[in-house]
A and B are shown apart, each in its own frame.
Chain A
Amino acid sequence: MNQFKGKAKILAGGTDLLVQMKRGKIAPEYLINIKNISDLDRIEYDVNRGLTIGSLALIADLQESYTIRDRFPILHGALSQLGTQQVRNIATIGGNLCNASPAAETAPALIALGASAKIVGHGGEKVVKLEDFFVEPGKTVLKIGQILIEIQIPNVSPDCKGIYLKHALRRKLETAIVGVAVSLSTDFEYGPVKEANIVLGAAAPIPKRALKAEQLAKGKKIDQHLLNEIASVASEESSPITDVRATAEYRREMVKVLVKRAFTELIKI
């Protein structure tokens, strides 16, 4: 990759890349097909280390994994809402993240799960938290010559529950107008929230944690009043744009609605 000096692009499933090339948005001189690198599509679970996903793992395979369905339902939910079966059959999780769309389906769920990205190439190997992986729309921390090879997800404590909600006009085949992933841990159904992760998709230039809202929830027993406040704060933390799909104003409103709905789904309020 180094030898092509930025004129090359990595090709995984191609469901983002080829569309962008066809539209004339990008015109790389070289495509580097990484699909033949063996073992990059593995899905491994270890009781101690948690879940390890190779960057070439197909969305469809991940969606069908019982481990993910049973132990990481928040991720399963996000995977199931990505595109259509045909797209999921060729799209990879690495491509979804590296394409760095603010609306990428898997990012909020993975960040909420505390996932990290393992990067290889130029200058060796390193692991970064996924919440620090994105830089701006279409741009990640990956430098020329680096590829994402693995996503690592720590084990989830049994008292933790999570959900990913996607808001769009159609039921399927949609780009999220807003996506919200929330994971909460509580000691018992009505107990106070010990840990809260609230991650917003399509509501800022990059998938974004609503840190202030999380802070507000932590250690508290959530009632309707507090939930409204959490939702409003999360909405204030978002910085969405107006585009052909929705206005910024509407997106901000939807952040509120989805945060509230996510909490209500997860715990008794």
Chain B
Amino acid sequence: MEGREFTVVGKKLPRIDALAKVTGEGRFISDIQLPGMLYGKVLRSPLAHAKILDLDISNAEKLPGVKAVVTAKDSPRKTFCIYPNLANNLILQDTKVRYVGDQVAAVAAIDENIAEEALDLIKVEYQELPAVFDPEEAIKSSAPRIHEEENNVAAYIKRQFGNIEDGFARSDVIVEGRFKSPSVAHCCMEPRGCVASFDLSGKLTIWSTTQTPHSLRQELAEVLDIPINRVRVMSAYVGGAFGSRMFMDPIDAIASLLSRKSGKPVRIVNTREEEFISSRTRYPMIIELKTGAKKNGKCVVRQAKVITDNGAYNNLGSSVTGNACSKLCQLYSVPNIKFDGFVVYTNNVYGGACRGYGNPQITFAMETQMDEIAVKLGMDPAEIRLINANRPNTITVSGCEITSCGLTECIEETIDRSGWKMKKSKKRKNCGIGMAVVMHGGSGGKFYWGDNCHISSAIVKMNNDGTVDVLTGSKEIGQGSDTVLAQIAAEELGVLLEDINILSGDTDATPPCGGAWGSRQTFTAGIAVKSAAADVRRQLLSIATDMLEARIDDLEAKNGMISIKDYPEKAVPISTVASVSYTHLGTPIIGKSINNDPWSSTPDPVTGFGNVSSAYSFGVQVAEVEVDTDTGIVRPVKITCAYDLGRAINPLLAKGQVVGGTLSMGLGYALTENLVRKKGKVQNISFLDYKILTALDICDIECVFVETNDGRGPFGAKGIGEPAMIPTAAAISNAIYDAIGVRVKELPITPERILKALKEKS
């Protein structure tokens, strides 16, 4: 589609906020200091399951320096969840607590120490209730009930496509296994936080580490019971989110309540301990998977039973489980599928979105079994993936329409670049190489019913000196979306990158947008920005037709000039045209665009059929490891990746996603990360014992992009954020098998699990 030479897109440009970040000028939540601002602290439940018999805040209120104490009584007691029919969580609990860390009350004081002291003065009388932490226990009819529901099954997702009996009957090999994945934390560099400030008119202004400002605006309006236009979510730098800051956290609402009650701005920032205790986690899943394939390697049937630990409240458990099912159908386009997903309440903290949204869990299972099938058939694991690879312009049984797809090229690239064939044939002792593939939505999709979620819109204004303002409701959270969107606007308008001023996230100033989730912003917000910029360009060209005495179709805008295509010397600066639009014509140029993602559809709630995303991204990772069979330590040696991201609008930023996703989140998920709980209480609440890998533990990475130039994406681009981390665990696991002949089917693959597997083998 876009065959032309680009001037801004596709270039390795430094991020536009680089200077602000490296100099410390960029303001994060903890840097925001408003006059009279108070410090909020939340009283959290020490028990995993208990009735609240009595809650006495009188002593806390009397402590000098305390300006407000809030409990559920100060809130409209509205349950919240992005799926309104599933809502059963409250911003403050007053009848029951359901996990260690549940919010009971909160304090705002003139400093943090006083606020903490005041928390100690709040008296809560609990009646402890029996609790359950293992979803396989919780699902039993004898288990303690966590909500006033018939049982602890929060949702049951049943999907059936094709005919699995037939599929298994026609299979030459069948493999079966049980896979377990842990609860892990996102470990954002900046803890979750917000500054909330109600003014006298009753309008709330809030700075938050959210990744979805427009959704947060709506959610706050609902739980606080005020009109949407009484809430303004401001823009601030955000130090990472990875899904954890998708949608409202109770502290956003609690800080707002405290501000309303005290009449002062209130800042709440989680401690690192609170991040580990009460922040969203990746949903742990137990996956029983059975896969069948023909002798020629073609995978023909998959059956999965999944038990998801939903935690104490509904958030995204059923959606994430549903997405795991989507991937079960989509990857390798398997024709016969059965999926039974049980989303089960436990007295653990409730999960949320986490880079990959159910896909890392199911990919670990699916891609391990692809390897097992290859072994059984005596095939090269790379070969079997080439045989099964998704192809462009195909439709899966679940109704997902794959348009651009470079999976085959990705596999071939990694085979070449990693030296796969040589390494597979000449084995070194305890060293191994393994491959895993990912298919993921590259454009967000229609997952949510909240009004703003799948929309992106943009406004582009041309100033009279030729500079440009881009207003987008998208959210920069460190991934570089402001830079990418500015590049898209500059390319479309034919101006320089430095002529673009971008404002994102401020909900009073920017038009609605679902925000940063589902690897969607480059695609979805990118389309909106590109179309709004195209609108501006058309208006500019139309004014220039008179000035250059040419037809609009003969004009082009490039490098700040509008010229006649074949006579570049006949040109007029864009700034001159812009100035004319203001001063002579009195019609400043403003472009707008709304992208409601017309190609995707919400999957049918009963059958799950539908094209959930407008574009799909693909990738391959080849991992090489060395295993110490005495200690069980696995050292990653190198990872070679290839990704089909349509087009890399900014190859530097795209590579940043892959490097971070693979070497930090991916390797951590594979090897070390795990929230260890004892009776629901997290035991590793600091980075000493919650092991994210350090720069010394990670390995070399080589990354190449396969640009398939997607027909819908802006300049052909699709998302890369999530795909970056999804296949790593499976690739590492397969490499471990190659090295030492054992498969560990529970993440993380710890030294103890390796030794145990080795023992069982011998």
Listed in ascending order, the chain A residues whose CB lies under 8 Å from chain B are 167, 169-173, 175, 244-247, 250, 253-254, 257, 261
Contact = CB atoms under 8 A, between A and B. Distances in A.
Nearest to B687: A173
A248 B551 CA distance: 81
B752 interface: yes
A173 B633 CA distance: 16
A244 B689 contact: yes
Contacts of B633: 169
24 contacts: A169-B672, A169-B750, A170-B672, A170-B696, A170-B697, A171-B697, A172-B694, A172-B696, A173-B694, A175-B689, A244-B676, A244-B683, A244-B684, A245-B689, A246-B752, A247-B752, A250-B751, A250-B752, A250-B755, A253-B755, A254-B631, A257-B630, A257-B631, A261-B630
Given A246-B752, A250-B755, A167 B683 contact: no
B119 to A, nearest CB: 12
Interface centre among A169, A171, A247, A261 (most CB of B within 10 A): A169
Contact of A170 (B693, B752, B755): B693
B116 to A, nearest CB: 10
A167 B696 contact: no
Given A253-B755, A257-B630, A170 B691 contact: yes
Nearest to A84: B694
A23 to B, nearest CB: 9
B171 to A, nearest CB: 39
A244 B750 CA distance: 12
B688 interface: yes
Size category of the binding interface on chain B: 10 to 19
A231 to B, nearest CB: 11
Contacts of B689: 175, 244-245
Contacts of B752: 246-247, 250
Contacts of B683: 244
B676 A169 contact: no
A170 B684 contact: no
Contacts of B696: 170-172
A250 B754 CA distance: 11
A253 B754 CA distance: 13
Given A244-B689, A245-B689, A254-B631, A169 B751 contact: yes
Q: Tell me which of B693, B696, B751 has the highest count of chain A C-beta atoms within 10 A of its own C-beta.
A: B751
Contacts of A172: 694, 696
Nearest to A167: B631
Interface of B: 630-631, 633, 672, 676, 683-684, 688-689, 691, 693-694, 696-697, 750-752, 755
A170 B694 contact: yes
B702 to A, nearest CB: 22
A169 B691 contact: yes
Contacts of B688: 173, 175
Contacts of A167: 631
A167 B630 CA distance: 11
Contacts of B750: 169
B3 to A, nearest CB: 48
A250 B758 CA distance: 13
Nearest to A247: B752
Contacts of A171: 694, 696-697
A259 B633 CA distance: 17
A169 B630 CA distance: 13
Contacts of A169: 633, 672, 691, 750-751
A88 to B, nearest CB: 15
A167 to B, nearest CB: 6
A247 to B, nearest CB: 6
A171 B683 CA distance: 22
Contacts of B693: 170
Nearest to B672: A169
Contacts of B684: 244
A35 to B, nearest CB: 24
Given A169-B672, A244-B676, A244-B684, 10 more contacts: A170-B694, A170-B696, A171-B694, A172-B696, A244-B689, A247-B752, A250-B752, A253-B755, A257-B630, A257-B631
A119 to B, nearest CB: 30
A167 B751 CA distance: 11
Contacts of A244: 676, 683-684, 689
A214 to B, nearest CB: 22
Contacts of A250: 751-752, 755
B584 to A, nearest CB: 63
A261 B696 CA distance: 22
Nearest to B684: A244
A167 B672 CA distance: 15
A250 B691 CA distance: 18
Nearest to A250: B752
Nearest to B676: A244
A181 to B, nearest CB: 17
- 6 nearest CB pairs, A to B: A171-B696, A257-B630, A244-B683, A250-B752, A172-B696, A244-B676
A261 B630 CA distance: 10
Contacts of A261: 630
Contacts of B676: 244
A266 B497 CA distance: 62
A154 to B, nearest CB: 33
Contacts of B691: 169-170
Nearest to A171: B696
